[in-house]
Amino acid sequence: MPELPDVVVYTERIAALFGGRPLRALRIANPFLLRSVGLAASAFAGKRLRATRRMGKRVVLEFEDEHFAVVHLMIAGRFHLRDPGAKPNRNLLCDFDFETQSLTLTEAGTKRRASLHLVQGEQALSAFDRGGLEPLSSSLAEFSERLQRENHTLKRSLTDPELFSGIGNAYSDEILHRAGLSPVQRSRALGAEQTAKLHEATRTVLTEWTELLRKDTGDGFPEKVTAFRPEMAVHGRYGQPCPVCGTKVQRIVHASNEVNYCPQCQTEGKLLRDRSLSRLLHADWPKTLEELEERRVALALPSQVNTKVVSVEPLPAKGSAKRAGVAPTRAEQPSTPKPRKKRS
């Protein structure tokens, strides 16, 4: 799912390419995309794009007369550029047609989760604000107050849109690794020093990634937005070495999501319970990486208890005339036809 750095670069490049230009048409290819009523897509025709903004993980396109197109990309939604007359992609959801190019919204896969809301007025737009604190402009005191509101795990707190704006699964992994904190540590259990480290890590990671994505995009358009990048420290790198200490990155799997972390850097060498294995191991869940490797080897090898190696000579192929010392099988015995019963 595109998060704060990705959405910032999207809004910047859309504004640079289409700012001040009139929209020829807003064409919706998939009816499930539009989640609002009242303001029709045709109402945007001829209106100029005045500005773009980020609202959480949403991209907001502001047109004249306070006409807003609010796009939530969800997991697989992406923006692309294409010529207005180009053949439509099968994943096409809608087109914002400008004079020379179209801003296209697509969504990979079969599930349609991306959404578009068309509203008018700042008051209507404010309904999409989840109230999360902007992490890049927050003070340490504001950041600390948000953490203390709920006694969640740090992973959940960072990704809660009502607590913090724009942080999702990928960058929360990177932030916690940079801060050297466990993803399951409780937010209200953090000391002042740990809170300061988390605040600094949040600002640093998001700033660094925003600058990196800006550099990669340049004067073009971010066509390859992904949550898995080789420059990341732990996210999406399960089983690979941590760039800081070399320890294998571990994960916690829950439904379709997973948490990636380094045991050495974040949990003092302890393994967090992974549901995909803890159901099998129960109370035998290993506490360290060494125990985990031993358990995996034990599960992969057959039991060697009370086993004997017996030498058995191969039997002749089925249908052979004789087998030394072996009684013929039923299939090899001559069959005797059964007498038919006479009908009375």
Per-residue pLDDT tens digits for 141-191: 999 999 999 999 999 999 999 999 999 999 999 999 999 999 999 999 999
Residue 292: pLDDT above 80?
no
Residue found under tokens 């009523």 = 37
Provide the pLDDT for residue 317: 52
Provide the pLDDT for residue 32: 94
Lowest-pLDDT choice from 48-52, 118-122, 329-333 = 329-333
How confident is residue 87, by pLDDT bands cut at 50, 70 and 90? Answer: confident
Q: What is the mean pLDDT of residues 310-324?
A: 46
CA distances, 75 to each of 12, 114, 172, 227, 284 (Å): 20, 8, 16, 9, 35
Distance CA 264, CA 271 (A): 9
Which one has a higher pLDDT value, 281 or 91? 91
Residue found under tokens 């420290």 = 233
Distance CA 344, CA 335 (A): 27
Residue 312: pLDDT above 50?
no
